[in-house]
Amino acid sequence: MASESVKVVVRCRPLNDREKAMNCKTVISIDSSHCQCFIEKPGATEEPPKQFTFDGTYYINHSTEQIYNEIAYPLVE
């Protein structure tokens, strides 16, 4: 039985065309240095954002290729 653990990595995607047409706002922020993701509830200025910690975090500006090269490729090489 393998002793390796599963790693969880999250990627924040950009708004899609429908969301842009509805004037939706991005409610997620990423702190890559601490592998944390923050989700804000729209209109709830008094409520602190929900915070989640992962093994890795990527934001809108990271490409699928970059994430594959950093995360998946070392596992399958």
The domain spans of the chain are 9-76
Instruction: Decide: helix, strand or coil at residue 25.
Output: coil
Q: Position of tokens 């709830």?
A: 44
**Global confidence as pTM:** 0.76
Report the alpha-carbon angle 30-34-36, nearest 5: 40
- Residue-wise pLDDT tens digits, 12-44: 988 999 999 999 989 999 999 999 999 998 888
| DSSP H helical ranges for the chain | 17-21, 64-67, 73-76
Output the pLDDT for position 44: 81
**CB-neighbour burial class of residue 37 (10 A; exposed 0-12, middle 13-18, buried 19+):** buried
pLDDT cut 70: percent of the chain above it: 96
